[in-house]
Amino acid sequence: MNYTGFGLAVSASLLWGLTYCLDERVLSSLSVYKLYFLHCVCGALIAGTVLVVQGNSAASLFSIDTTTSSLPLVGLTLLTATAAALSILGSIQLLGADKAAVLEISYPLFVALFSVLLFKGQLQTPVVIGGIFIFIGSAIIVLAK
């Protein structure tokens, strides 16, 4: 088992939980777009600093090596990540952090499906069953009054 990967995934879960709660409070006074812009600026400053410390030149931060990356795929992931981030911030603002998080956590089912549809990945029965249970459970929680 890759304990570092496991630890990072759990850390991400904890940090996203905290972020959603903080975002809900902040979104009462800031627009979704302004908060997302601030998220991006902060992320760019931190990631850029780490990359420069690792030995990358500042100019290299704005270039993509097309011999190792597919430029259309990079562009697509940037667009989908932006749309996803704006969607979750909007849902946090409209539904609250708890309901938005419960619905958003159904994404493993879609990861499995898109993996198969886009990249001919293997659809594993336990992942599909688990994803369906998460999706149904999410719907039950959100629709409960």
Q: Give helix then strand counts, H and E, for the chain.
A: 6, 0
Q: Specify if 100 maps to a domain.
A: no
8 and 74: one domain? Answer: yes
Question: Do the beta carbons of residue 18 and residue 72 sit within 8 Å?
Answer: no
Specify whether the CB–CB gap between 23 and 35 falls below 8 A: yes
- The pTM (predicted TM-score) of the whole model is 0.83
Regarding whether 139 and 75 lie in a shared domain, the answer is: no
Tell me the pLDDT tens digit for each residue of 83-116: 999 999 999 999 999 889 888 887 877 888 888 8
User: Model confidence over 26-77: pLDDT tens digits?
Assistant: 999 999 999 999 999 999 999 999 999 999 987 887 888 777 778 888 889 9
Q: For residues 61 and 10, state if they share a domain.
A: yes
- Which residues span the domain enclosing 125? 105-145
The reply to whether 75 and 134 lie within a common domain is no
Same domain, 54 and 90: yes
Q: Choose the weakest-confidence range: 6-10, 11-15, 29-33, 112-116.
A: 112-116
What is the domain count for the chain? 2
For the beta carbon of residue 101, count every other beta carbon within 10 angstroms. Answer: 21
